[in-house]
């Protein structure tokens, strides 16, 4: 009596679980940055360091083409970025930070920014930029991405423009 009903329920359950195991939030290997080498030098300010990171460009290491098709010169398989910081964690946070371009002086734009929905202006901007990945209304630009794209002949470097 209950055999066909149980079998149908199990079949529906199996079909539903196949839809739940998707990769909707995956990051392609080519979109990630991998640190190959870290160099440490004394910084210009006492107790600061100049952290130099050699970062792999996975698409180039695999021998693939850059985004935007062919054309342009060949991109290097790695890029080098130097950041001044007192700790390695500070340097990594700077590399992973979001990049915004201000109209006029950045100092004036930051001072004039008073969000209504959030107490912390930095948290509001971070949330705004992170949420843009759902709508694709703003480009996702981090410092590392911008510097890598600026050196590329095949990818245009983009950043979010902010104003007062």
Give per-residue pLDDT as tens, 82-115: 888 898 888 888 777 777 888 888 888 877 877 7
What is the token pair recorded at 54? 């050699």
The predicted model scores a pTM of 0.49
- Provide the percentage of residues in the chain whose pLDDT is more than 70: 76
In a 10 Å sphere around its CB, with 0-12 CB exposed, 13-18 middle and 19+ buried, how is residue 57 labelled? buried
For residue 149, give both structure tokens. 């794209």
């Amino acid at each position: 009596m209950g055999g066909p009903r149980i079998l149908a329920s199990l079949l529906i359950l199996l079909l539903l679980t196949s839809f739940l195991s998707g990769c909707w939030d995956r990051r392609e290997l080519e979109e990630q940055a991998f640190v190959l080498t870290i160099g440490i030098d004394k910084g210009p300010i006492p107790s600061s360091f100049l952290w130099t990171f050699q970062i792999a460009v996975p698409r180039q290491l695999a021998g693939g083409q850059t985004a935007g098709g062919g054309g342009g010169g060949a991109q290097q398989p790695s890029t080098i970025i130097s950041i001044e910081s007192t700790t390695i964690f500070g340097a990594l946070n700077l590399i992973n930070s979001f990049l915004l371009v201000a109209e006029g002086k950045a100092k004036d734009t930051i001072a004039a920014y008073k969000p209504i929905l959030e107490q912390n202006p930095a948290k509001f901007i971070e949330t705004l930029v992170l949420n843009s990945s759902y709508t694709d209304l703003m480009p996702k630009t981090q410092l590392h991405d911008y510097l890598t794209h600026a050196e590329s002949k095949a990818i245009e470097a983009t950043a979010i423009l902010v104003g007062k």
